[in-house]
C-alpha cells in the first residue's frame, strides 16, 4: 500500500489515466489553435473542441451551443453572477444566494454589493439545506437571479435545485447553480431541473485542472449575459482567450467516464463512507451535513474538543484529509459553512472532511478509518 492515502477528493482528484491518454496528442501533435482555421492544425483543434463540447452538453442535457468554456468553476461563477446582473440592470438589481456557498459565489456577491447591487444571503437549517419557502419569500420585483449551490463542497449536502428552479421560473427570475461538486457524481439534466446557468469544473471528476464550463440556457428563456473577459471574441464573445484544447479534450473524456461509472462508484462510495462513519462513531464522531441527502463520497465529521488540525497532522504521514474548503484552508477563521449550521467556533474547528476517490480501495479505507480512530484516541488522552 502506498502512503499517504489520498482522501481529499473535494479539493481535487488525480487525472484518470484514460483521460491523460486522450489528452496527450493535443500537447505534442495536434497542438493547433482552435481559432486558426486557415490550416489543418487549427481545424483539427477546432473539431476536437466541438466534439468535447458535444460530449459535455450531452452529459448535462443541454445543447452544445449552451456550453461556454472557462478556466474553472470560479471563473464560471463570476461570469454567471456579474454577467447576468450587469446585463439585466433594466429588470432589477437584486441577487439571492445562500450563506453556505463557495467563496467564488460569496466574494462575487459581496463585490456586486460594493458596486450598488442588493444581495440577500439566505440561511440554512442544521443540515445545510435552504428552505424552499424562504427562497420564494426573498423574491422581489427587483430580483434578477437566484444562485444556490447544487452540492456543498464541505459537508456534501445536496440541494433540491429542481424545486428552487421552478420557483425562479414561476417568478420570471433566472436560476444559477454552482455544480462543481455535483457534475459527474449526480445525475443532472439542466432542462428537467429548471436550471438557467450552471458552473462546473474538470478537476473534480478526474480531469485536468484549469478547465471548466458555464452552461447558459439558450431558449425558454434565452439567458443573456455580459462578458467579464475581453479579447478575441472566442466562446460567442462571452469568454475571450485561446481555448485550452487539451484541457477541453480531457474534460470531455472525464465527464464521459463519470457518466458511465457514476452509479457503481456511488454504491462503492456509500459503503466506504458508511463504514468510516460507523468506525469513527466509536470515537464520538458527529456527522456534519444531511444524513441522507448528501454526496456519496463525502464524509464531514467533528470530534468535539479536539482540533481538526491536530487530527490532520497526526495522520498526515499516512492519510491526506482536510479541514474543509481548499480555497480557505490557509485562513484561521472557522468554516463559514459549519458556523451556518449552528455550530460554535470550537465545534467548527474540530471538523475534518474526507473525500473518497475512484482510485481508493477497500483496504485503504479500512486503514484510513483505523488511523483516524487511533489518532482521536491518542489526542483525547492528551486533552484529558
Say if residue 88 is in the same domain as residue 184. Answer: yes
CA distance 171 to 165: 10
CB 100 within 8 A of CB 178: no
Helices marked H in the chain: 17-23, 25-28, 40-60, 73-87, 103-114, 132-138, 161-170, 245-281, 308-315, 336-340, 345-348, 362-383
**Last residue in a domain, options 231, 255, 279:** 255
Q: Which cell numbers hold the place of 44?
A: 483539427
CB 206 within 8 A of CB 254: yes
Say if residue 139 is in the same domain as residue 275. Answer: no
**Last residue in a domain, options 255, 277, 300:** 255
Say if residue 269 is in the same domain as residue 245. Answer: no
CB-based burial, 233-259: b 16+ in 10 Å, e otherwise: ebbeebbebebbbbbbbbbbbbbbbbb
327 is catalytic: yes
In order along its 384 residues, the chain shows pLDDT tens digits of 999 999 999 999 999 999 999 999 999 999 999 999 999 999 999 999 999 999 999 999 999 999 999 999 999 999 999 999 999 999 999 999 999 999 999 999 999 999 999 999 999 999 999 999 999 999 999 999 999 999 999 999 999 999 999 999 999 999 999 999 999 999 999 999 999 999 999 999 999 999 999 999 999 999 999 999 999 999 999 999 999 999 999 999 999 999 999 999 999 999 999 999 999 999 999 999 999 999 999 999 999 999 999 999 999 999 999 997 655 445 578 999 999 999 999 999 999 999 999 999 999 999 999 999 999 999 999 876
Upper half-sphere CA count for residue 159 (Cβ side, 13 Å): 31
Say if residue 363 is in the same domain as residue 378. Answer: yes
Say if residue 201 is in the same domain as residue 131. Answer: yes
Say if residue 115 is in the same domain as residue 139. Answer: yes
pLDDT attached to residue 329: 47
pLDDT attached to residue 324: 75
Say if residue 234 is in the same domain as residue 349. Answer: no
Catalytic residue of the set 138, 186, 229, 327: 327
Say if residue 23 is in the same domain as residue 129. Answer: yes
Say if residue 165 is in the same domain as residue 240. Answer: yes
Q: Which cell numbers hold the place of 113?
A: 454589493
Range of the domain at 268: 5-13+262-383
Q: What is the CATH number of the domain that holds 227?
A: 3.40.640.10
Q: Which residue has the cell 467533528?
A: 302
CB 305 within 8 A of CB 383: yes
Say if residue 240 is in the same domain as residue 360. Answer: no
Q: What is the CATH number of the domain that holds 280?
A: 3.90.1150.10
CA torsion, points 54, 56, 57, 58, in degrees to nearest 10?
Answer: 80
pLDDT attached to residue 333: 87
In the chain, the number of structural domains is 2
Say if residue 219 is in the same domain as residue 192. Answer: yes
Q: Which bin fits 53, alpha (ψ -120 to 50), beta or left (φ > 0)?
A: alpha
Say if residue 100 is in the same domain as residue 239. Answer: yes
**Last residue in a domain, options 255, 284, 313:** 255
pTM of the model: 0.96
Amino acid at each position: 500500500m502506498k502512503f499517504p492515502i489520498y482522501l481529499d477528493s473535494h479539493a481535487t482528484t488525480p487525472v484518470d489515466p484514460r483521460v491523460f491518454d486522450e489528452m496527450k496528442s493535443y500537447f505534442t501533435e495536434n497542438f493547433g489553435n482552435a481559432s486558426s482555421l486557415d490550416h489543418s492544425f487549427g481545424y483539427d483543434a477546432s473539431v476536437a473542441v466541438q466534439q468535447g463540447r458535444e460530449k459535455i452538453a450531452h452529459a448535462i442535457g443541454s445543447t452544445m451551443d449552451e456550453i461556454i468554456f472557462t478556466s474553472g468553476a470560479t471563473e464560471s461563477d463570476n461570469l454567471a453572477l456579474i454577467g447576468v446582473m450587469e446585463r439585466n440592470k433594466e429588470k432589477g438589481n437584486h441577487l439571492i444566494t445562500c450563506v453556505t456557498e463557495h467563496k467564488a459565489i460569496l466574494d462575487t456577491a459581496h463585490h456586486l454589493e460594493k458596486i450598488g447591487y442588493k444581495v440577500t444571503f439566505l440561511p440554512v437549517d442544521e443540515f445545510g439545506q435552504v428552505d424552499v419557502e424562504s427562497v420564494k419569500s426573498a423574491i422581489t420585483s427587483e430580483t434578477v437571479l437566484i444562485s444556490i449551490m447544487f452540492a456543498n463542497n464541505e459537508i456534501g449536502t445536496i440541494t433540491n435545485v429542481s424545486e428552487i428552479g421552478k420557483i425562479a421560473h414561476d417568478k420570471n427570475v433566472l436560476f444559477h447553480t454552482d455544480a462543481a461538486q455535483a457534475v459527474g457524481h449526480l445525475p443532472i439534466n439542466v432542462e428537467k431541473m429548471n436550471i438557467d446557468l450552471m458552473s462546473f469544473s474538470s478537476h473534480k471528476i478526474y480531469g485536468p485542472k484549469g478547465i471548466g464550463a458555464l452552461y447558459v440556457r439558450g431558449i425558454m428563456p434565452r439567458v443573456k449575459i455580459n462578458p467579464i473577459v475581453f479579447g478575441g471574441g472566442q466562446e460567442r464573445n462571452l469568454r475571450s482567450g485561446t481555448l485550452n484544447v487539451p484541457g477541453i479534450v480531457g474534460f470531455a473524456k472525464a465527464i464521459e467516464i463519470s457518466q458511465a461509472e457514476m452509479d457503481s462508484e456511488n454504491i462503492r462510495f456509500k459503503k466506504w463512507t458508511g463504514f468510516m462513519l460507523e468506525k469513527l462513531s466509536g470515537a464520538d464522531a458527529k456527522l456534519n451535513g444531511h444524513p441522507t441527502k448528501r454526496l456519496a463520497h463525502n464524509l464531514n465529521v467533528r470530534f468535539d474538543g479536539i482540533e481538526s488540525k491536530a487530527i490532520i497532522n497526526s495522520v498526515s504521514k499516512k492519510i491526506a484529509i482536510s479541514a474543509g474548503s481548499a480555497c480557505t484552508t490557509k485562513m484561521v477563521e472557522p468554516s463559514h459553512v459549519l458556523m451556518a449550521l449552528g455550530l460554535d467556533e470550537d465545534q467548527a474547528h474540530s471538523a475534518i472532511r474526507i473525500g473518497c476517490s475512484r482510485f481508493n480501495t477497500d483496504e485503504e479505507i479500512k486503514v484510513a478509518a483505523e488511523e483516524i480512530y487511533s489518532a482521536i484516541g491518542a489526542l483525547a488522552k492528551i486533552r484529558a
